Amino acid sequence: MIQINNISKSFGDRKVLNDVTFTFESGKTNIIIGQSGSGKTALIRCMVGLNEIDSGEVLYDGRSFHTLDFKGKKEIRKEIGMLFQGSALFDSKTVEENVVFPLSMFTDLSEAEKRERANFCLQRVNLPNAGKLYPSELSGGMKKRVAIARAISVQPKYLYCDEPNSGLDPKTSIVIDTLIKEITEEYGITTVVITHDMNSVLEIGDNILFIYNGVKWWEGNHSDILKTTNQELQDFVYATKFMKELKTKF
Amino acid sequence: MNPLFHFGRYVILMKRAFSKPEKSSIYISRIFEEMNILGIGSLGIVAIISVFMGAVITIQSAFNFESPLIPIYAVGVAVRDSMILEFSPAIISLILAGKVGSSIASEIGTMRVTEQIDALEIMGINSAGYLIQPKIIASVLFSPVLIVFSMFLGILGGYVFGLLTGVVTDYEYVYGITYSFRPYNVFYALIKAGVFAFIIASVPAYHGYYTKGGSFEVGRSSTKGVVYSSVLILAFDLILTQLLLA
Ligand SMILES: Nc1ncnc2c1ncn2[C@@H]1O[C@H](COP(=O)(O)OP(=O)(O)OP(=O)(O)O)[C@@H](O)[C@H]1O
Ligand SMILES: [Mg+2]
């Protein structure tokens, strides 16, 4: 479980997060939604300490992250898997080496065991034959999937995914959503997913946090969200023609 | 920006880079990897420059020493001393600051702007240690090899071109390069080169590590890394010469 209490963050004199409080439950897919630029990425970067927060606290199963020193933070980070919005694959390493990398750093598995684990992860993201390729030889969606494989290779307790299915076709997108939901439930991971995709929200969103201009505007689950009366959330949810049509059917 | 700010941040980065590694075996293989890229990869350019420097010093000093008072073997002495004392350690280091420094700064800078450094941090890896420390160690450990290689080739280049152009004879040149030879000078050169190697790896790494923005800024970091490391090499050349030779 990750709890955030009253998080605020400014870049210069621009306030991008304002007093955000939320609980991300374990074994659940917690989804953050919001318009582009509303502060979603900034929020998770603050939660993992890549950006300093101005005020508030982040608790990883009760452990207050920002009061820890470098070493204490490191211990928590070893339990975190993260998919960056831009994938952030190591471009000097092959796909397989990327996935093996965190295992080499922190486990004493043999070469064969590591490779086996890497191939298992690559299989789960539907990329069984890409191990020998370099990131520059992959499509955007393939990079995303390799990055997911890398994030889950060490069996994290906390998993962050920044737009896991942007740039994926609808079918692969569902494969990824299902994978995220499955491993979350299977291993009791606390998963935080940022997405724009209403399909994913409805498919896998257990807890949903809607951020509007850096403020928590709404929270709830996927059955509440369709019935919302919150104007800004409605604008977000029913932005597409498809969703609008869906709404008239209720 | 404020030089004190940069100095302080540089010291803190170095402290982080030299904290205890996560897994020594991986660091050791990283060091060899970097030696291969930074060291072996520079042998070619060092060889070419050293041979030509030795040749030019030979011909120039032979031309300048056209006085009956100066024995012709002084050409050998001049080549030896200028190669060992200054050209091999300092000039080669300046060239390497351009070649190696720009590649270090742009590699680390690109990793910064594409969030690869963030990805390392998130995994719980000390990114400064993982990326920077092996480069510095490889660079410092390999510098004696490059510098001795350069001295040797410079003196050899002088010999070959001296004979080819006929400005010295075989006997005079060899007599010159062995004439009152001080091994301490080689030691002095290696100390200098070691310090320069540290600068060449660490200063561009610092600029790369703190790159903000995109590809434009990566280019700027790379330029800054080269310029600052070159200036520091010249400054330390002066300081170390004063300390070790005076
Ligand atoms: N390092 C930074 N320096 C200054 N401003 C920043 C920085 N990072 C983010 N911002 C600003 O913070 C705001 C929130 O950015 P953020 O990346 O969190 O948006 P987002 O909700 O993830 O959007 P998207 O859906 O497009 O990814 C933006 O207005 C952005 O300009
Ligand atoms: Mg974002």
pLDDT tens for each residue of A126-152 = 898 999 999 999 998 899 999 999 999
pLDDT band for B1, please (50, 70, 90 cuts).
low
**In chain B, pLDDT over 70 holds for what percent of residues?**
100
**Is B115 within 8 Å of A84 when comparing Cβ atoms?**
yes
The type of residue at A21 is T
**Does the CB of A48 have a partner CB in chain B at under 8 Å?**
yes
Q: Domain for residue B9, yes or no? A: no
Q: Domain for residue B211, yes or no? A: yes
pLDDT tens for each residue of B189-211 = 999 999 999 999 999 999 999 99
**Is A50 within 8 Å of B123 when comparing Cβ atoms?**
no
Residue A119 contacts residue A129 (beta carbons within 8 Å): no
Q: Domain for residue B151, yes or no? A: yes
Nearest to B125 among A45, A89, A105 (CB): A105
Ligand 1 centroid–CA A196 distance in Å is 15
pLDDT (mean) for A13-33: 95
- For the CA of A39, the closest atom of ligand 1 is 18
Domain boundaries of chain A, sorted by first residue: 1-79+158-164+188-250
Q: What is the mean pLDDT of chain B?
A: 93
**Is B114 within 8 Å of A78 when comparing Cβ atoms?**
no
Q: In sequence order, what are the beta bridge partners of A29?
A: A191
Q: Domain for residue B3, yes or no? A: no
Tokens encoding A157: 């307790």
Domain of residue B170: give its range: 24-245
Number of structural domains found in chain B: 1
**Is A89 within 8 Å of B116 when comparing Cβ atoms?**
yes
State the ipTM, two decimals.
0.91
Residue B134 gets the label, from left (phi > 0), alpha (psi -120 to 50) or beta, of: alpha
pLDDT tens for each residue of B89-143 = 999 999 999 999 999 999 999 999 999 999 999 999 999 999 999 999 999 999 9
- Best of B20, B112, B122 to disrupt the A interface by mutation (most A CBs within 10 Å)? B122
pLDDT at A222: 84
pLDDT tens for each residue of A161-185 = 999 988 788 888 898 899 899 999 9
Instruction: Collapse the DSSP code of B44 into the 3-class scheme (helix H, G, I; strand E, B; otherwise coil) and give the result.
Output: helix
**Whether residue A36 has its Cβ less than 6 Å from ligand 1:** yes
* A-B C-beta contacts closer than 8 Å: 52
Provide the whole-model pTM: 0.91
C-alpha distances (whole Å) from B100 to each of A158, B26, B92, B235 are 39, 22, 11, 19
Taking chain B, what is the end-to-end CA distance rounded to the nearest angstrom?
A: 35
pLDDT tens for each residue of A187-243 = 999 999 999 888 888 889 999 999 999 999 999 988 888 888 888 888 888 888 888
Domain A1-79+158-164+188-250: CATH superfamily, name plus number: P-loop containing nucleotide triphosphate hydrolases (3.40.50.300)
Q: Domain for residue B2, yes or no? A: no
**Does the CB of B114 have a partner CB in chain A at under 8 Å?**
yes
pLDDT at A132: 94
- For residue A42, give the ligand nearest its CA: 1
pLDDT at A250: 65
